[in-house]
Amino acid sequence: MSAHSETLRDMFVEFDGREKIVVEGDSWEGMITSFGEELNHRVKTKWLKDWILPNFSTSTPQDDVTATILMMGLMKNFFDFEGMLVCGIPSVTLLGEREDWVKLQSKLGRLYEFGTDAGLFADALKPIMKRFVTSWDADGETREFWEQIVRAKKKWSCGEGASEWDVSGWITAFQFFERDGKRRGFDPWDSEDEETKEEVKMGIFPNDWNIIIDGQSYLPVSLSDLSTGYAKAPLKMKGYPQAGVDTDAYLLAGNIGVERVEEDGWVEARPVSGWFLYGPVDTNYTVGPFFGSGSETEGIAVGIAVCKDAAIESKASGGEGEEVKDL
């Protein structure tokens, strides 16, 4: 085809030069498949796609992508190809029933009893909870609402890692408080009068990609500053791992992860709520303001080593000799 493209031009197309084909896709495979479909619409030989695609009982989706690229190679003297990968959430599934979400919305009112900051948190959540409910009613703005859930943008500074990215969208409402429990953006040098307290200041550099819903602003948050989504309580385990030995541990519960299921090139993700008990830990060291930080992980490692050493010493001195277990 490369050597005889002009001789065969009239067989495939009705124009001179090259036409541009521009497509979007949410994956490389999807984008390439779209190129194949566009080619099939534009060439005179409508049998071309079926002729090139294998369509055998042993064929796989990857075989189809490979064949489509071969077809693009055959047509490269007639067409220019431009593609753009787009990201986003193709669909959202609200679990449960509508009444569950109405009940969740009704719980917001209780937050106002916990003080000014909690009340501001409730104000930030109101537009979101309202639209969780109206999503069940196929409200006209439902699609626009879910398209505003989260956005990401790399900062101007050099380097890699979480600190180089900001996230925006209404999802930042759930990051209203920092790891130390203070309202995000709270400046301790500000005056403590009520007027200052009423000002919500999430993020450092507000800009035009902030989301505003019902007058509420949802401003960017650095990816490195995201708070943990769990709570924990210290627990002293009496007589564990053996009689006469007490072990400090934590009970922890909340949003502890994300469940990801990939099928047919799509990834379904949902939050994982759960609880677990872990230890041994040094609660004097790890009950600090920064829950979920690297120092806590270091404390867990230190606690494990200390507990094992204590158990081994007890066994050597004539203890019961029960096997040492890591929680």
Both 77 and 104 in one domain: the answer is no
Which residue is listed with tokens 């193709």? 90
Q: What is the pLDDT of residues 168-208, one digit of tens each?
A: 899 999 999 887 788 886 544 444 444 444 444 443 333 44
Last residue of a domain, one of 225, 260, 287: 225
What was the pLDDT predicted at 127? 96
What was the pLDDT predicted at 258? 87
Below-50 pLDDT ranges, the chain: 187-208, 286-308, 310-312, 314-315, 319-327
Q: Report the domain count for the chain.
A: 3
Q: What number of helices (H) and strands (E) belong to the chain? A: 10, 10
Show the domain range for 56: 5-85
Grouping H, G, I as helix, E, B as strand and the rest as coil, residue 10 is helix
Q: What is the pLDDT of residues 225-236, one digit of tens each?
A: 888 788 889 999
Q: Which pair of tokens denotes residue 110? A: 């209780």
What are 83's strand-pairing partners? 23
Specify the DSSP class assigned to residue 112.
G
What was the pLDDT predicted at 209? 65
Q: From residue 145, how far is each of 138, 140, 219, 222 by CA, in Å? A: 12, 10, 16, 22
What are 262's strand-pairing partners? 267
pTM (2 d.p.): 0.63
Specify the DSSP class assigned to residue 282.
-
Which residue is listed with tokens 């090259």? 18
Q: Which pair of tokens denotes residue 281? A: 């830990």
CA atoms within 13 A on the CB side of 279: 23
Task: Assess if residue 92 is contained within a domain.
Answer: no
Last residue of a domain, one of 179, 200, 225: 225
What was the pLDDT predicted at 204? 36
- From CA 160, how far away is CA 148, in angstroms rounded? 25
Both 124 and 220 in one domain: the answer is yes
What was the pLDDT predicted at 119? 95
Last residue of a domain, one of 60, 85, 110: 85
